[in-house]
Structure 1
Amino acid sequence: MPTREDWLFGLKLLAAVALTVWVALRFDLPRPYWALATVMAVAQPLTGATRSKAAYRLYGTAIGAAAGLVMVPNLVQAPELLTLAMATWVGVCLYLSVLDRTPRSYVLMLAGFTAPFVGFPNVSDPTSMFDVAVARVEEIGLGILCTSLILSILLPRSVAPAIQKQLEQWFIDAREWICAVLRGAPGSYTLAKRLRLACGATGLDAVITSLQYEATGREQSAGAVATLRQHMLMFLPVMSAIHDRVAALQQLQAMSPRLQQGLDELAHWISTWPPQDPGTADRLRASFDALMPRYHCTPNWIELLTTSLLVRMKDLIDLRLDARTLEGDVIAGRGIQQPLLFRYTAAAHAIRHQDRGIALLSGFAAFVSVLVAGAFWIASGWPDGASAPMLAAVASSFFASLDDPAPQIKNLAKSAVIAIVLDCFYLFVILPRVTTIEMLILVFAPLVLVCGFLINRPKTFLYGVGTGLVFFTLLALQDSYKADFSAFTNSAIAVLFGVGTAVVVTQLIRSVGAAFVSRRLRHMNRDSLADATRHGGPDDAMELAALMLDRIGLVATRLNALPPEDAEWTAELLSEVRVGINLVELDRSLPSLTAEEARMATDLMHAVGCHFEGEALHPSEDLLAKLDACLRLFATDEECTRRHQALLGLTDLRRSLFPDAPPFEYGPTAPAVKVAA
């Protein structure tokens, strides 16, 4: 049964449709169905999402109409070349759209399939192209204006509460992991839960753009949400490092009572918010500084592990304070109000993974779909077959970001069949009896309400949009009643043929599974690590970490689809991020090293790069020997305190690559060192 929210959205959608019909018919617009289809396409339960999609649809329509204006008059005498040009345009636009994983990608996607919508139906009369293009922009603009106006005025629904709820749940999950690690029970928080924290952070991408278009004042907090997303991602490598150091010290039975007390105090502070004493964070930092091992040179392995743990705990304090400050800015609907403590601040831009291979496959599948449907239309001389390549372009584009778009295209085909049946009933039974605008709105009401109910629910969203979109497109509502059963039947068959072509071509060219994409993401992370060992790789450790964590978030969404044999490499994902951070920092430290140190560090990075270029999951013993040789050289230098950061990086690198290796030792010639209490 429809809920209160379903009824509310359905009534708002009906109001938008009613306003669009009234304006279009009052002003004698030639093709009101374009405006009505736009209402169904851009209407979203959240006001900001509606406004952003509406703006992007207008931009995309204008670009696509301009492309159609260029191609059709120049190529209309050569239909094969025109079809090739249209297919190429759709494919290129979709390729660029898939690369952009933000809602802005809708601009390029729409620009791609708008050109066939403007061009193909007018090949028999190219002189009317300009008028048709202008009319399409006008009527789509009308649909956008009416939808945005109604959904912004009538009980607008903000995305802010959804963001707050999402953040609240994320911090609850993160706090559970942090406290489990600090209190000595890290096994209670599984790997899947840890990776889903990355998924939760990257999931904010979908709502940031909606927030920017709210026009309620809360859009000022969009920058705070974007920065908070980066901080949430950085929690993962920091906590992964703390998790590892705690486990290593416990295994060596080297966790001193004072250090354990510091962990307990940090856990208590993390679990209590807001803190009763605002000065707790400063006292925790001071206590960690007091616990820091004091050494001039030749620190032992336990001292290196302890130092690394304490540094990461101080990073965690800064991250936690920043995250809560940013969360407060988001809740208050304001921009960032004060400087942040963690070095990865608002000045760092958002990094997004781009898969050019998958984007190329998507674009090529759309190209082939339009080409095949268009070739059949031309070869058969099908008078009403223009809808086939048009719908092939739409179906190939809508779901291109999915691992396997074919099932969703099939669902679109089911929606199209439902819409065709409804169109037939409306065109030849109901509309002949409609004589006024009010009656027209009244007969549309049941259908629009049901579509609104479906759109308001994520599981049935596609059926609502698909049915409404195809229904109003095929209805071809104009300023007077015009219905031709033969033309309607041909257009309906063309629609199904176009969607069917997209299904077949997508299954042959584009369909890949979640496991394939996950392994591909993992290989791309390893390639990024190999690049980091060479000059010309990433210059900033946090940029590399953000890119790798973004990919991990994408893997996390596919965990349930992975076969059991992939469990081993998924366990290495977070440690590989730590490897990347340390490789970049080590590369940046090369100018400050002596010639011998720089040579050995370069040799080590080359060996690490060779490992990640290969397929082996675990590195070789030769790499461990090189790493230990670097540690000995850096740690026995009389100025090893100047190598403090490099030593910490090498320590983390050793733990990340060789977590099960015996503790580092200097060898029989190394001087005796005092073990930390």
Structure 2
Amino acid sequence: MPLGAAAGRGGDGGPTIPLPGWRDWLFSARSFAAAMLALWLALWLDLPRPYWAVGTVYIVIQPLSGALRAKALARFAGTFAGAAFSVAAVPNLVDAPPLLALVLAGWVACCTMGSLYDPTPRSYAFRLAGFTAALIAFPSVDAPGAIFDTALARVEEIGLGILCATLVDQVFPRPSAPLLLARVEAWRASMARFGAEALAGRLDEARFVADRRQVARDGAALDTMFEEARYEAAAERAGLAWVQALRARARAVPALISAVADRAQGLRRDAPAAQAAIAPSAQAAITSPAAQAAIAPPAQVAIAPLLEAAGAWLAETADPARRPAALAAAPDLLARLRSAEREAAAAAGDWPTLLREGLLARLRELVETWARALALEPRPGAHAPPPRLAAAPVTSGQMDPLLVGLTGLSVLLAVLACDIAWVATAWPEGGTATMMAAVSTAMFAQLDDPAPAIANFLTMTGIAAVVGALYLFAALPAIDGFPLLAFALGLVYLPMGALHAQPATIGTALPLLVNTVALMSLQETYAAEFASYVNGAVALLIGFAAGLVSTRLVRAFGVDWRLRRLVAADRRDLARLVEGRQADLRRSVAAMLDRFEYLAGRIGSADATTLEVSELAELRAAINVQRLREVAPQLPPALRGGIEATLAAVAAWARGRATPETVAARLDAALGLAMPVRDRAARQAALALSGLRRALLPTAPPPAPTHPAPALEQAA
């Protein structure tokens, strides 16, 4: 929440709008100063549409300097690309209006679809390239000879608005880098606390899932801030190269914590004695055979103290002051874990022992991964280059190709419907409606459900039309000179600019700030005609309404539908890995982590129950499938055949062609072949099978005990 803001709930239980704080008013003042500078310069330079420069200021200006520069660069690049396309398309296709309309609609649709595959600020450039062509081309079809001048004016005015916003930001800069580094520190601390509490067993299932989702949401927000901070000056972003490496290493930590916690839960259920914390000396003092039989062997009794030690170590790393000492102690903790892991590996290969050994292996991996991540210390003023890391690839694995296609279809329908109505009615403002249909469908395409945002924009545009009419026909006739004009505009633009600074109210403020001045069409000399104004305002509203109808018709599935598709995408990736059709495990893991972080920001406990979501299960299963693939060539034929049958059942389940009971039966049969064999490769296979079983069937009862085989050849 911005400094000085107040949040709460009204007396009727509804949310209240936060009051702007001093930072919000400062942001509004600098936004208004940049807008008035852009308006004055545009009038002085006699540019044809000064309001484009003013609107650009409010579109690109952001509370943080990095975000402003990212959006400014994307807006200019998108404007230039869209202008170039319109200059190429209109003169060549103006004699074939149906083809021109189809080409322009296809361009907007393709650019919008392309933007959905880019999770960085560059996506805005793709969207803008699409609807900029519509903004320039559709009003120019009656005068194709002037298309170059119109495109040039658009680029100049957009560039002027960007320049003014950037200049004012230099006076009151607010770098993104310090805030990003503070958020990174908070994220690391929350991750460490989550792990510590999970290992200590202090979290019930609901709290565990909620905390894990919160960590994932905060991590995804860091990616957005990092991409924006990269656009700042070199002095401001120094040291930020460590952040990307940190995220690449640490984003898988929630999955490791889940794997450890899941095995600990399985041990508590299937082998309670394994959680005992009796020291070997105390164990030796017990002489009763019955009591000794109830006590776990030495490999088992180390679990509880090791979980406590690892949890305490994670808690130490949450405090920046104690972190160096915790990192120095990490090698000793890892040595204890490796020793316990070797002891567990030497024990009999029954199910509880596999759970213990798997828990210790994942616990060691957790400590190693977290220690390596913390060694990457992002700090202000750091100039050393980042280490050469095999970072996980940046993907947009949460993007569904079907959703992308439907988004493009909604753009096509809205634009072509308005274009057909324009031609059929010969409405002079039909071009305005058509270009606004393109804007409305492209502008909000990245949202899960664009329809509410388009509806809100439509409502606020209607209010902007009223405000613009009051200015144009009541206030402006009495105004003489730029200072008085700026004062009159400030009465509305300063308070609305303060709301524009807040994420909760930007959707209310921005349409009014941009569309009021656009509808007024401010020029050097006053010239306003009421019928023309109403006609233009109606066209604007009809264009947005067409975009709203098209979006609701084509993308009316809701967020639940998209979440189901993401769950299905995880299972398809798992099936491809099992079938050998996807060889790059790192890319699949990165895509699954993308989807998990996306789901974490949108799903609640009720949704998870309805959608049958088991978060991170497919990711953990994929890793264990890869371990089985790696060890399979070293296994005897019978065991290798059992594993292949198991993997076939997993693939069939992931594709919806097998039941969990079938998978459980195949897994248990393979475990029955692997657990009795005292061989390193077979032991690794048994560990991977147990991990696969815990990932996909966490509530299944333990497999039936098996009897050890005397030799590898007999097991084969």
TM-score of the aligned structures, taking structure 2 as reference length: 0.86
Q: CA deviation at 1:10?
A: 0.7
Aligned partners of 2:75 and 2:125 also within 8 Å:
yes
For residues 389-408 of structure 1, the aligned pairs below 5 Å read 389-408=434-453
Deviations 1:80-122 (A, max 9, x none): 3222221111111111112223221101100110011111111
Q: Deviations over 1:164-219 (max 9, x none)?
A: 45434434443343223322334263323323322222222321221111215242
AA matched with 2:274: A
Letter of the aligned partner of 1:287 in structure 2? R
Deviation at 1:277, TM superposition (A): 5.8
1:490 maps to amino acid:
N
For the 8 Å contact 1:296–1:641, the answer to whether it is kept is no
Contact 2:58 2:514 in 1 (8 A): yes
Matched with 2:164 is 146
Q: Distance between the aligned counterparts of 1:335 and 1:591, measured in 2?
A: 44
Write the distance in 2 (CA, Å) between the matches of 1:667 and 1:560.
41
Q: Which amino acid aligns with 1:321?
A: A
Match of 2:338 in 1: 289
- CA displacement 1:283-311 (0-9 Å, x = unmatched): 10111122124456962323322221122
Matched AA of 2:20: P
Aligned partner of residue 533 in structure 1, secondary structure: helix
Q: Is the Cα contact below 8 Å between 1:69 and 1:129 reproduced in 2? A: yes
Task: Please name the residue that 1:55 is paired with.
Answer: 73
Which residue number corresponds to residue 329 of structure 1? 378
Q: Does 1:566 align with 2:583?
A: no
Tell me the amino acid that sits aligned with residue 447 of structure 1: V
Q: Which structure exhibits the higher relative contact order, with contacts defined as CA atoms closer than 8 Å and separated by 6 or more residues?
A: 1
Question: Aligned pair 1:619/2:663, yes or no?
Answer: no
2:249–2:391 Cα contact (<8 Å) kept: no
Instruction: Show CA shifts across 1:341-365 (max 9, x none).
Output: xxxx453322321211111111111
Establish whether residue 465 from structure 1 lines up as the match of residue 465 from structure 2: no
Q: AA paired with 1:439?
A: L
Task: Report the AA paired with residue 691 of structure 2.
Answer: D
| Closer, same or farther: CA 330–490 of 1 in aligned 2, 3 Å | farther
Verify the 8 A CA contact 2:334 2:368 in the aligned structure 1.
no
Contact 2:465 / 2:516 at 8 angstroms: preserved in 1?
A: yes
Calculate the aligned-residue CA RMSD, in Å: 2.5
Aligned ranges 1:67-216 → 2 under 5 Å:
67-151=85-169, 153-187=170-204, 189-215=207-233
Give 1:408-557 correspondences, 5 Å limit.
408-540=453-585, 542-557=586-601
Q: What amino acid does structure 2 have at the position aligned with 1:304? A: L
Deviation at 1:637, TM superposition (A): 4.7
Measure the CA separation in 2 of the matches of 1:419 and 1:301. 68
Distance 1:338 1:581 in 2: 25
Letter matched to residue 659 of structure 1: P
Residues 140 and 158 from structure 1, CA distance in 2 versus in 1: closer, same or farther, beyond 3 angstroms?
Answer: same
Check the 8 A contact 2:177/2:237 in 1, yes or no. Answer: no
> After the TM superposition, which of the residue ranges 45-54 and 70-79 deviates more from structure 2?
70-79
The question of whether the paired residues in 2 share the 8 Å contact of 1:288 and 1:310 is answered with: yes
1:20 matched residue in structure 2: 38
Displacement, 1:394?
1.0
- Whole-angstrom CA distance in 2 between matches of 1:561 and 1:632: 36
Match of 1:255 in 2: 275
How far off is 1:127 after superposition?
0.6
Mapped to 1, the partners of 2:116 and 2:393 lie a distance apart of 20
Instruction: Note if 1:659 corresponds to 2:698.
Output: yes
**Aligned mates of 2:208, 2:350 — CA distance in 1:** 31
Instruction: Give the stretch that moved more between structures: 254-263 or 398-407.
Output: 254-263
Q: Is the 8 A contact 1:403 1:512 kept in 2?
A: no
Structure 1, unaligned runs of 5 or more: 340-344, 673-677
1:313 corresponds to which residue?
363
Cα distance change, pair 484–317 in 1 and its aligned pair in 2 (3 A)? same
Deviation at 1:416, TM superposition (A): 0.8
Distance in structure 2 (CA, Å) of the matches to 1:563 and 1:245: 25
Rounded Cα–Cα distance in structure 1 between residues aligned with 2:83 and 2:632? 54
Q: Percent identity?
A: 35
Q: Which moved more, 1:221-230 or 1:123-132?
A: 221-230
Report SS of the residue matched to 1:545: helix
Shift of 1:507: 1.2
- Matched to 1:240, the amino acid is S
1:342 is matched with: none
Could you tell which deviates more after superposition, 488-497 or 192-201? 192-201
Q: Deviations over 1:226-277 (max 9, x none)?
A: 3333333201210111001212223302135233222212111111232446
Partner of residue 607, structure 1: 649
Deviation at 1:450, TM superposition (A): 2.3
CA distance in 2 between counterparts of 1:179 and 1:159 reads 30
| Pair 223,84 (structure 1): closer, same or farther in 2 beyond 3 Å | same
1:319 Cα deviation after fit: 2.3
1:364 corresponds, among 401, 409, 429, to 409
Count residues with an aligned counterpart. Answer: 659
Inter-partner Cα distance in structure 2 for 1:227 and 1:378: 55
> 1:331: Cα distance to partner?
5.4
- How many Å separate the matches in 1 of 2:391 and 2:453? 39
2:20 and 2:499 in contact (8 A); partners too: no
Q: Which residue does the alignment assign to 1:675?
A: none
* Separation in structure 2 between the aligned mates of residue 431 and residue 346 of structure 1, nearest angstrom: 61
The letter for the 2-side match of 1:177 is F
Letter of the structure 1 residue corresponding to residue 494 of structure 2? L
How far apart in 1 are the matches of 2:558 and 2:311?
Answer: 41
Q: Identify unmatched segments of 5+ residues in structure 2.
A: 1-18, 278-301, 712-716
Against the structure 1 CA distance between its residues 166 and 512, is the aligned structure 2 distance closer, same or farther, given a 3 Å change threshold?
farther
With 252-261 and 86-95 compared, the bigger mean Cα shift is at: 252-261
Q: 2:91 and 2:522 mapped to 1: Cα distance?
A: 27
- Provide the secondary structure at the position in 2 that maps to 1:279: helix
2:285 aligns with: none
Aligned residues of 2:337 and 2:360 also touching (Cα < 8 A): yes
Q: Which amino acid aligns with 1:261?
A: P
Q: Secondary structure at the match of 2:660?
A: coil
One-letter code aligned to 2:341 = M
Distance apart, 1:28 and its partner CA: 2.2
